[in-house]
């Protein structure tokens, strides 16, 4: 068993004789890691211009806070989502909507040669495109390369307060897209406060047909499986739909070459025929003292 990832800071002998060295953070002398980027963070330098920009941003945040209060006073609670209704969360109708997304690839961290971008195409749809390269840098450290990804900014309230999306009234994730025949990975992040929870992600693959036709894919939330840092965990659990912090799409099918995924919209919907399935996978009960991998 190689590449073992565990949860607590200790060492343990595995059944095959290998030693599992377990660490929760990048620095072993710290229990809590302050950088959510796990070593990829950049230091911010204060300047007079940044202070002035902060005051301009303050005016904008007061406007967001005002709209939050108005929505709280005027809106009625939704008891249940009507069956078949699609709540379009991202519609990509204006270039400003792309400001809520960030792109990343292995080349951004000097760990590969892949590149990607997220733009609006002439037909008015979002286009996630780029080039995947599985070539590994010859530095003696990187063993595998070839990924590109897009991810939303953290769900937040006014004054940059961290928040979550609450999708408890819905049963499916819906994406209308037109792909190139490649497979992509849909990611739902449930990032918590403590660093042990920062890498909690629920995945499900998106298979595209390619060609000129659009496809509408509806994925039950019960089908998403739990992983951490790219490793599927033995201890599976249903996703907490009231704690969605980010949504993302990853291109990493280990085939070098160009890729493109055209997206019309991303939504949530409710299907009463699947409401009784809370989780599609088995729950394993491991003996005490054995960490999940």
Q: What is residue 60's predicted lDDT score, i.e. its pLDDT?
A: 79
**39 lies in some domain:** no
CATH number at residue 122: 2.60.120.430
Pairing of strands 183-189, 225-228: unpaired
In-domain check, residue 38: no
How confident is the model at residue 2, as a pLDDT?
38
| Residues 32, 24: Cα–Cα separation, whole Å | 9
Residue 131 is encoded by which pair of tokens?
């080039």
For residues 206 and 179, what is the distance between their CA atoms, to the nearest angstrom?
10
- 154 and 77 in one domain? yes
Same domain, 22 and 166: no
Q: Does residue 42 fall inside a structural domain? A: no
For each of the chain's 293 residues, which pLDDT tens digit applies? 333 333 333 334 444 444 434 334 344 445 556 666 655 656 656 666 666 776 777 777 777 777 778 777 765 555 556 788 899 999 998 888 999 999 999 999 889 999 999 999 998 999 999 999 999 998 888 888 999 999 999 888 777 778 888 998 899 999 999 999 999 999 999 987 766 778 889 999 999 998 889 999 999 999 999 998 888 888 888 999 999 999 999 999 999 999 999 999 999 999 888 777 888 888 767 677 665 55
Residue 206 is predicted with a pLDDT of 97
The whole-angstrom separation of Cα 115 and Cα 93 is 24
Residue 238 domain-assigned (yes or no): yes
Contacts of 98 (CB under 8 A, 6+ apart): 92, 118, 119, 120, 126
Is 194 found in the same domain as 100? yes
Q: Comparing C-alpha atoms, which of 246, 255, 113, 79 is closest to residue 180?
A: 255
In a domain, 282, yes or no: no
Considering the domain architecture, whether residues 15 and 124 belong to the same structural domain is answered as: no
Domain assignment present for residue 108? The answer is: yes
Report pLDDT for 249: 98
253's enclosing H/E stretch is: none
Length of the chain: 293
pLDDT for the residue numbered 51: 64
Phi (first) and psi of residue 199, to 5 degrees: -100, 15
CA distance 258 to 129: 8
Total number of domains in the chain: 2
pLDDT score for 33: 61
**Is 290 among the domain residues?**
no
Q: Report CA 213 to chain centroid distance, whole Å.
A: 26
In terms of domains, do 127 and 245 share one?
yes
Do 24 and 125 share a domain, yes or no? no
Q: Is residue 66 part of a domain?
A: yes
pTM for the model: 0.77
pLDDT at 78: 55
Q: Are residues 163 and 261 in the same domain?
A: yes
Q: For residues 79 and 12, state if they share a domain.
A: no
Backbone phi and psi for residue 213, each to the nearest 5 degrees, phi listed first: -95, 145
Identify whether residues 9 and 149 lie together within a single domain: no
Same domain, residue pair 146 and 7: no
Are 16 and 86 part of one and the same domain? Answer: no
Domain carrying residue 2? 1-33
Mark whether 102 and 244 lie in a shared domain.
Answer: yes
């Amino acid at each position: 068993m190689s590449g073992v990832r565990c949860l607590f800071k200790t060492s343990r002998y595995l059944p095959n004789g290998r030693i599992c060295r377990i660490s929760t953070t990048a620095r072993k002398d710290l229990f809590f890691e302050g950088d959510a980027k796990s070593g990829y963070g950049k230091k911010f330098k204060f300047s007079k211009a940044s202070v002035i920009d902060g005051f301009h941003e303050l005016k904008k945040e007061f406007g967001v806070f005002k709209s939050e209060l108005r929505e709280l006073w005027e809106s009625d609670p939704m008891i249940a989502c009507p069956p078949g209704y699609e709540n379009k969360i991202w519609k990509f109708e204006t270039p400003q909507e792309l400001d809520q997304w960030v792109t990343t690839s292995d080349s951004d961290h000097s760990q590969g040669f892949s590149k990607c971008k997220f733009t609006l195409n002439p037909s008015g749809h979002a286009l996630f495109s780029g080039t995947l390269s599985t070539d590994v840098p010859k530095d003696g450290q990187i063993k595998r390369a070839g990924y590109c990804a897009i991810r939303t900014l953290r769900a937040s309230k006014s004054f940059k307060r961290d928040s979550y999306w609450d999708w408890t009234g819905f049963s499916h994730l819906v994406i209308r897209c037109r792909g190139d025949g490649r497979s992509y990975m849909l990611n739902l992040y449930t990032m918590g406060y403590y660093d042990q929870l920062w890498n909690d992600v629920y995945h499900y693959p998106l298979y595209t047909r390619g060609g000129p036709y659009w496809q509408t894919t509806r994925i039950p939330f019960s089908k998403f499986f739990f992983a951490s840092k790219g490793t599927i965990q033995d201890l599976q659990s249903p996703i907490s739909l009231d704690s969605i912090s980010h949504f993302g799409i990853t291109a990493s099918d280990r085939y070098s070459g160009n890729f493109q995924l055209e997206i019309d919209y991303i939504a949530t919907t409710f299907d009463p025929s699947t409401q009784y399935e809370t989780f599609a996978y088995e729950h394993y009960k491991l003996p005490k003292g054995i960490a999940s991998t």
